[in-house]
Amino acid sequence: MFEGMDFSKMGEMLQEAQKNAQKMQEDAKGKVYTAKSGGGLVSISIDGEGEVNDITIDDSLLSDKESLQILLMSATNDAIKMVEDSKKLAASQMLQGMGGFGK
């Protein structure tokens, strides 16, 4: 697992990892993930930090509270999963760039 690694450069690697993590965080702020449920009756947009930016609800759902709640939960959970998956992928790519830790 650690073959070919020069541990004397660990401090440099950690500094680089910290810079990369900060860049990932800044990049995440600019990304928006949108999930829909109910065939598009409900749409929710969340930024890369997990903050809700927009919710769109079709007027036909306004008289059906139970369906609205279910579709909101579904769309919200899907959007949150998109954000988490993106974070995991970015972290994995960063670790792979540091000498194979993410493999």
Using an 8 Å Cβ cutoff, are 66 and 60 in contact?
no
For the chain, the structural domain boundaries read 29-96
Using an 8 Å Cβ cutoff, are 45 and 34 in contact?
yes
**Which pLDDT score is estimated for 19?**
82
**DSSP secondary structure of 19-40:** HHHHHHHHHHHH-EEEEEEGGG
Question: In a structure prediction context, what are the per-residue pLDDT tens digits for the chain, which is 103 residues long?
Answer: 556 666 667 777 778 778 877 877 777 778 999 999 999 999 999 998 889 999 999 999 999 999 999 999 999 999 999 999 988 888 787 777 666 554 4
Query: Which residues touch 78 (CB under 8 Å, ≥6 apart)?
Result: 35, 37
**Which pLDDT score is estimated for 28?**
76
In CATH, the number for domain 29-96 is: 3.30.1310.10
Using an 8 Å Cβ cutoff, are 29 and 49 in contact?
yes
The identity of residue 84, as a single letter, is E
pTM value? 0.70
